[in-house]
Chain A
Amino acid sequence: MIHWNGWDMQDNASTPLSFQQLILKLHDYWAAQGCVILQPFDMRVGAGTFHPATTLRSLGPDPWNCAYVQPSRRPTDGRYGENPNRLQHYYQYQVIMKPSPPDLQALYLGSLAAIGIDPLVHDIRFVEDDWESPTLGAWGLGWEVWCDGMEVTQFTYFQQMGGYDCKPVTGELTYGLERLAMYIQGKDSVYDLAFNDAVGDRPAVTYGDVFLENERQLSKWNFEVADTDKLFRWFKDAEAEGQASIAAGVPLAAYEQAIEASHIFNLLQARGVISVQERASYMARVRDLAKGSCEAWMTHNGWAA
C-alpha cells in the first residue's frame, strides 16, 4: 500500500487486482465512506441507474448513500462473444450519494487510487458529458472520466428524475467494471480477464470461463431466437400490470413493471421489429410507466414536487 496525497493507493505493480478483487476493493472503499453496500437488483436492467436504489431513492429529501454492482443487459450490444470489448451482459459499479457531498470528486479519485490507478502515471480527466435518460424522464450534468483516453466512469449530478426536480441533488458514479479491470490487468480482451486468483491447487478462472458461453447463447437468443409475438405480449402485459399497480398505490411494484417493459422493449429493438416511427411511441410508453411510478412514489411518501 502506497500513501499519496492523502489517498491510500493499491500497488498493482506486482499482482494486479482480479475482477472480483476490484469489486471487493470498491466495496471496502465506499463502505468506509458511509455507503450502504447493496446487492444487485434481481431484474434485467439496461444500466445500474434503473435499480430502484438509484431512481426512486434519488427522489425526496432523505439522505441516501449506497453502492452496488448491477449486471446490465444491452441486447443490441451482443457480439456472440466475438468482440473483445462488447458484451450484451456486463457489470456496472454504481455509487449514489445524496445530497452530493462537496468532495465527491476527491472521493472518486480516492477510489481510483484504492484500485491502483496512480494519477501521476495515468492521465485522469473530467470531460464534459451530460447525461439524459428519456425513458426515466431524468437528466443531469457531469463528465465522463477519462483514464489515458479511455472512458472509465460516468460522473453525474442528477438534476431531475421522473420529471421531478431533485431536491437535493444526487451524485451518481457509474464505473464500467470490465473496462477498468482490462485496464488494470493490461488485457486486450474482456474474456482474458482474471476473474479471481488461484489459491493452492484451486485454479484461477477467467472472465471468459464464466461468461463466454453465456454471450454466445444469449446473443443468439436476443437476435435470432426470442419469439417476437411473445415479446410484444410481454410488453403489453408489463405495461398493463404497471398501470394497474400505479392505480393500486404500490409504486415499488409498478416500477418493477416499468423495468420489465424497458427490457422487453430493448429485446424487441434487438430483434429489429420496431420501426423508427414506432420506437418513439414505445419509449413514451415506458416513460409513462417510469414517471407514473415516480409520481406515485412521491405521493406515497407525501413529498411535494
Chain B
Amino acid sequence: MSADFLLELRCEEIPARMQARASEDLTRLFTETLAEAGLKAARLTSYVTPRRLALIAHDLPLATQAVSEEFKGPRTSAPPQALEGFLRKTGLTQDQLEDRGGLWFALVEKPGRATADVLAEAIPAIIRAFPWPKSMRWGKASQSTESLRWVRPLQGIIALLGDDVVPVAIEGVAAGRATMGHRFHASGEIAIERAATYAAQLKDAFVIVDQAERKAIIASRAEALARDAGLELIPDVGLVAENAGLTEWPVSLFGRFDPAFLEVPPEVIQLTLRINQKYFVLRDKAGALANAFICTANIDATDGGKAIVAGNGKVLAARLSDARFFWEQDKKTPLAVHADKLARITFHEKLGTVADKVERVAKLARWLATEGIVKGADPALAEQAARLAKADLVTEMVGEFPELQGLMGGYYARAEGLPDVVADAIRDHYKPVGQGDDVPTAPVTVAVSLADKLDTIASFFSAGIKPTGSKDPFALRRAALGVISLIMTNTLRSELGHLVYQAEMASDMTRYERVSKLIDERWQDTLPETMGWYHLELKETFNRLFLYESGLLDFFADRLKVQQREAGVRHDLIDAVFALGGEDDLVRLLARVKALQHFIATEDGTNLLAGYKRAANILKKERPQTGKISSEAGEENPGAALTDPTIADAIRVHDALPLAYTPEPAEAALIAALDSAAPRAAAAVDAEDFEGAMAALATLRGPIDAFFDAVTVNDADPAKRDARLNLLTHIRAAVHKVADFSKIEG
C-alpha cells in the first residue's frame, strides 16, 4: 500500500536568490527525516515559486514495516525482582514469556507506524529546523522571541497523503488542502484534490509551480521577442533564474529606450538594465548594444502590457539619465584631480588612505619597469598609470556601480586624451580577478597590476593581517594568485623574495628604518669607512630575514600549489623544489618542477627515486644526526650554508676520498658515475637546463641499482662502512642539487 504525498509551505515572497537552495534543503530534510522512520518514497518532485515551496513524494508506503525483536531475560530461577524488571522493560506479562532451558525469552512485536503519524511529527520538525540564510518572526506570536521563524511570514500548509489531509499544525497554521493561486489573476482559495492534480490545479489559477518550466518560458519568450525585433538576446542564465524567482506567471515584454543614451559606455547601460531593473539586454546584428530591453512581468496585463512597458521605460529613462549625468559630470574633472580625493578614503585603518597606497604602488610600478623586471614598460607611463588607477573610485559612476571600477577609469582616461597604454592599464589593472580571468600582457598594465597586488599582500602581511582558514576578508589569496599568474604568463624573471621585499619595504618603512638604526648603532663605529657596502648589505639581509619570518614566501608557495594543482602539476614536486630553499624565481622553479614531473614519470626516474629513497633510509638509520635536511635554508639566509647538513656531509665526502681500501667493482662504478654526473647535473642546473640535469642524474640509476645489489653498506670493517655511507651522502647531495627527492611521494 502506498500513496503520493504532497507538501506545500506557502509564505509571503521568498527572495529569488534563496529559492533554489531552499528547494534542495526541503528535499534533503524530508528524505532524511523519513529515512530515520524507515520510510522512502519511490521518487521526489520539488517545486518552488516566490510564494511556495512544494514537494511531492511519489509512492510513499502508508505504514512503516512491523519489526519483531527477541530479548533474553533472567533465569527462571532468578529472584522475582529480576523478572519484574524484565517485564517492565519489555512491557509484557509473565504468560507471554517463553521458558527456554531455564531462561526467560520475550518476543516483542513492534507494529508498523502509520505514515500519516510519521509525517505529522516530521513536518513541524522540518519547518523548525529549516536552514534559511535569514529568517524572521512576525505577528501576534512574536510577542515571544521563541516564536516560529521563517524566511517571511508562513501563510499556509498543505499536507495531503493520498486523498487525506495529514493532521498537523504549527504555531496556529493548520495543514489542510487549501492554497492560493496567482496574487492577481486568481481569487479565493483553491482546494487541492491530491498530489497528482497539484500542478495542474495551480496552473488553472495562473501559477506555474515548476521553476524549470518558468525558466524555459522566460528564456524562449525573450529570445522570440528579440528575434521579432531583428535583434539578438544576450543570454544570461542568472537573470533567467532571478526572473523565474520573481514570478509565478512570467510574461515577457519588449521595450525601447532613447537611443541618445547609447553614448554612455555600454557596460554602464548593461548594468543598469540587468542589476537595477532585471531586464534582458539585446544587441543588433553588428554586435552593438541595442536601445531595447526585455522585462518579465508577473501578470498577463489586460492592456497587453502597454502600461507596464511604458512604466518600465520611464524608470529606465530616469536611471539612464542619472548614468549619463554621472558620465558627463565625471568627465569634467581630470583623473588626476579625482585622485586627490583618495586622501580622504581609508584603505584600511592600519594601512592609511588609498592615496598612501597609490603612492606606494606608483613607486613600485616604476621600479618594476626601471629594473627591467617588466620588460618594455616605460617607467614614466607605468608610474602615471599607477597614480591614476584608483582615481575612478571617487567618481559618481563608480560610486553608483562599484563593479565598474577600473573600466570607468579607462574610459575617463581616454576621454581626457591620455595615452592608450595608460588608459588600458587603468582599465585592466585589477585583472586577473580570479582563476580563468584574462591575465594582462601589455607591459604598462602588467607593471601596475603586479605592483598593486604585491603592495596589497605585503601591506597586510606587515600589519600582521593574514588569511586564516576560510577567512580571507581582503582577498589576499586571490591577489597572490594574480601575482603568480602575471609572473608566469609574462615570464617575468625575478625572485619573488626580491619583489615582495621591495613591496614590503615600501609598506613598512618604520621597520626598515628601525633595523637600519640598530645596525648603524652597533656597527657604524666598528666598520671601516670602506666597508660601507657591507653595511648596506647587512641591512638588506636583516630585512629579508623578516620576510621569511612573516610567512610571506610560504603563503606564495601554498598559492602556487593550489594554482598548479589545477594545471595538473604535482604539489609534492613543487615541495621538492621549494625545499631546496632560495628558489623563488617562479619561472625557473616551475620549469624545474615540470622537468622533474616529466623525469619522475620515466622508468629511469622511478628507479632513481627508489634508489635515492633506499640511500636516504639507510642514512636516516645510520646517521640520524645528519639525516635531516633543513628545508628552511635559503641563499638569502646568511650562514645557512654552514649549518646545512647536506653540504657539510658533501664536504666530508671530499675529505674522505680517496679510499683507504680497494672498492668493489660496483662501488667503484658508482663513484665514477657520481664523479661524472654530479658536476654535469650542477652545471645544467646553473644553466637552467633542467632536462639536462635530469639526464645527468639518470646516468646514476644503473650504478646505484648495481651498487645496492652487490655491495653491503654495513660492512664489518668500520672504514668501509663509513666510506660507503659517505658515498650515499654524496649521492643524496648530488640529487638535492636538482630537487629534494625526499619530498616526492610514491
User: Does B bind A?
Assistant: yes
A148 touches B311 (CB 8 A): yes
Q: With A128-B15, A148-B307 in contact, do A123 and B137 touch (Cβ < 8 Å)?
A: no
A122 touches B187 (CB 8 A): no
B155 / chain A contacts, CB cutoff of 8 Å: 102
- The CA of A168 and the CA of B143, in the complex, are separated in Å by 4
Shortest C-beta distance, A151 to chain B (Å), equals 9
- The CA of A135 and the CA of B301, in the complex, are separated in Å by 42
B187 touches A5 (CB 8 A): yes
B311 touches A99 (CB 8 A): no
B187 / chain A contacts, CB cutoff of 8 Å: 5-6
Please pick, from A105, A123, A130, A169, the residue contacting B12 in the complex, using a CB distance under 8 A: A105
Say if the beta carbon of B511 comes within 8 Å of chain A: no
B560 / chain A contacts, CB cutoff of 8 Å: none
Stretch at the interface among B89-97, B314-322, B380-388, B679-687: B314-322
- The CA of A277 and the CA of B349, in the complex, are separated in Å by 8
Say if the beta carbon of A284 comes within 8 Å of chain B: no
Shortest C-beta distance, A211 to chain B (Å), equals 19
The number of chain B residues with a CB under 8 A from chain A is: 51
Q: With A122-B311, A128-B17 in contact, do A276 and B345 touch (Cβ < 8 Å)?
A: yes
Interface string of B10-36 (1 = CB under 8 A from A): 001101110000000000000000000
A141 touches B134 (CB 8 A): yes
Stretch at the interface among B292-300, B457-465, B593-601, B638-646: B292-300
- The CA of A130 and the CA of B151, in the complex, are separated in Å by 11
Q: Which residue of A lies closest to B297 (CB)?
A: A123
Q: Which residue of A lies closest to B301 (CB)?
A: A121
Say if the beta carbon of A221 comes within 8 Å of chain B: no
- The CA of A118 and the CA of B184, in the complex, are separated in Å by 10
Say if the beta carbon of B312 comes within 8 Å of chain A: yes
A123 / chain B contacts, CB cutoff of 8 Å: 297-299, 301, 308, 311
- The CA of A74 and the CA of B345, in the complex, are separated in Å by 22
A148 touches B312 (CB 8 A): yes
- The CA of A101 and the CA of B134, in the complex, are separated in Å by 21
Interface string of A50-92 (1 = CB under 8 A from B): 0000000000010000000000000000000001110000000
B311 touches A149 (CB 8 A): yes
B185 / chain A contacts, CB cutoff of 8 Å: 120
B307 touches A102 (CB 8 A): no
Shortest C-beta distance, B205 to chain A (Å), equals 13
Shortest C-beta distance, A144 to chain B (Å), equals 11
Say if the beta carbon of A165 comes within 8 Å of chain B: yes
A61 touches B143 (CB 8 A): yes
A124 / chain B contacts, CB cutoff of 8 Å: 183-184, 298
- The CA of A275 and the CA of B341, in the complex, are separated in Å by 11
- The CA of A209 and the CA of B161, in the complex, are separated in Å by 65
A169 touches B308 (CB 8 A): no
B13 touches A147 (CB 8 A): no
Interface string of A152-192 (1 = CB under 8 A from B): 00000101000001111101000000000001000010000
The number of chain A residues with a CB under 8 A from chain B is: 45
Q: With A123-B301, A275-B344 in contact, do A167 and B145 touch (Cβ < 8 Å)?
A: yes
B315 touches A149 (CB 8 A): yes
Shortest C-beta distance, B33 to chain A (Å), equals 26
Shortest C-beta distance, A281 to chain B (Å), equals 12
- The CA of A143 and the CA of B136, in the complex, are separated in Å by 13
Q: With A125-B246, A276-B345, A276-B346 in contact, do A168 and B311 touch (Cβ < 8 Å)?
A: no
Please pick, from B17, B183, B311, B318, the residue contacting A85 in the complex, using a CB distance under 8 A: B318
Say if the beta carbon of B140 comes within 8 Å of chain A: yes
B145 / chain A contacts, CB cutoff of 8 Å: 165, 167
A126 touches B301 (CB 8 A): no
Within 8 A of A (CB), among B116-171: 134-145, 151-153, 155
Main secondary structure of the interface of A (DSSP, over half): loop
Q: Which residue of A lies closest to B354 (CB)?
A: A276
A105 / chain B contacts, CB cutoff of 8 Å: 12
A5 / chain B contacts, CB cutoff of 8 Å: 184, 187
Say if the beta carbon of B302 comes within 8 Å of chain A: yes
Say if the beta carbon of B263 comes within 8 Å of chain A: no
Say if the beta carbon of B277 comes within 8 Å of chain A: yes
Q: With A169-B138, A169-B142 in contact, do A119 and B299 touch (Cβ < 8 Å)?
A: yes
B136 touches A169 (CB 8 A): yes
A121 touches B13 (CB 8 A): no
A171 / chain B contacts, CB cutoff of 8 Å: 138
B311 touches A157 (CB 8 A): no
- The CA of A127 and the CA of B17, in the complex, are separated in Å by 10
B183 / chain A contacts, CB cutoff of 8 Å: 109, 119, 124
Q: Which residue of A lies closest to B141 (CB)?
A: A168
Say if the beta carbon of B437 comes within 8 Å of chain A: no
Say if the beta carbon of B549 comes within 8 Å of chain A: no
A61 / chain B contacts, CB cutoff of 8 Å: 143
Say if the beta carbon of B303 comes within 8 Å of chain A: yes
Shortest C-beta distance, A52 to chain B (Å), equals 21
Within 8 A of B (CB), among A262-284: 275-277
Q: With A121-B301, A276-B346 in contact, do A99 and B140 touch (Cβ < 8 Å)?
A: yes
Say if the beta carbon of A214 comes within 8 Å of chain B: no
- The CA of A166 and the CA of B349, in the complex, are separated in Å by 34
- The CA of A159 and the CA of B303, in the complex, are separated in Å by 40
A276 / chain B contacts, CB cutoff of 8 Å: 344-346
A128 touches B16 (CB 8 A): yes
Say if the beta carbon of A100 comes within 8 Å of chain B: yes
- The CA of A61 and the CA of B140, in the complex, are separated in Å by 10
A148 touches B17 (CB 8 A): no
B184 / chain A contacts, CB cutoff of 8 Å: 5, 119-120, 124
B136 touches A141 (CB 8 A): yes
A140 / chain B contacts, CB cutoff of 8 Å: 136
Shortest C-beta distance, B563 to chain A (Å), equals 35
Within 8 A of A (CB), among B209-253: 246
A83 / chain B contacts, CB cutoff of 8 Å: 325
A148 / chain B contacts, CB cutoff of 8 Å: 307-308, 310-312, 314-315
Say if the beta carbon of A150 comes within 8 Å of chain B: yes
Within 8 A of B (CB), among A189-216: none
A84 / chain B contacts, CB cutoff of 8 Å: 318
Shortest C-beta distance, B677 to chain A (Å), equals 64
A120 touches B16 (CB 8 A): no
- The CA of A276 and the CA of B344, in the complex, are separated in Å by 6
A127 touches B246 (CB 8 A): yes
Q: Which residue of A lies closest to B300 (CB)?
A: A120
A159 touches B344 (CB 8 A): no
Q: Which residue of A lies closest to B50 (CB)?
A: A126
B308 / chain A contacts, CB cutoff of 8 Å: 121-123, 148
A100 touches B139 (CB 8 A): yes
Shortest C-beta distance, A239 to chain B (Å), equals 24
A99 / chain B contacts, CB cutoff of 8 Å: 138-140, 142-143
B136 touches A183 (CB 8 A): no
Please pick, from B12, B307, B315, the residue contacting A121 in the complex, using a CB distance under 8 A: B307
A141 touches B152 (CB 8 A): yes
Q: With A149-B312, A150-B311, A166-B142 in contact, do A121 and B303 touch (Cβ < 8 Å)?
A: yes
Q: Which residue of A lies closest to B13 (CB)?
A: A126
B17 / chain A contacts, CB cutoff of 8 Å: 128
Please pick, from B277, B302, B346, the residue contacting A120 in the complex, using a CB distance under 8 A: B302
B307 / chain A contacts, CB cutoff of 8 Å: 121-122, 148
B346 touches A157 (CB 8 A): no
Shortest C-beta distance, A143 to chain B (Å), equals 6
Interface string of B332-364 (1 = CB under 8 A from A): 000000000000111001000000000000000
- The CA of A118 and the CA of B302, in the complex, are separated in Å by 10
A147 touches B12 (CB 8 A): no
A sample of 16 more A-B contacts (CB under 8 A), given A100-B139, A167-B142, is A99-B138, A100-B138, A109-B183, A122-B307, A127-B13, A128-B13, A141-B151, A148-B308, A149-B277, A150-B315, A166-B142, A168-B137, A168-B142, A169-B137, A171-B138, A275-B344
- Pairs A-B, 4 closest by C-beta atoms: A148-B311, A128-B15, A126-B13, A149-B312
Please name 15 pairs of A and B residues whose Cβ atoms are closer than 8 Å in the assembled complex, sorted by A.
Answer: A5-B187, A83-B325, A99-B138, A100-B142, A101-B139, A109-B183, A121-B308, A124-B184, A127-B246, A130-B134, A141-B151, A148-B308, A149-B315, A159-B137, A169-B136
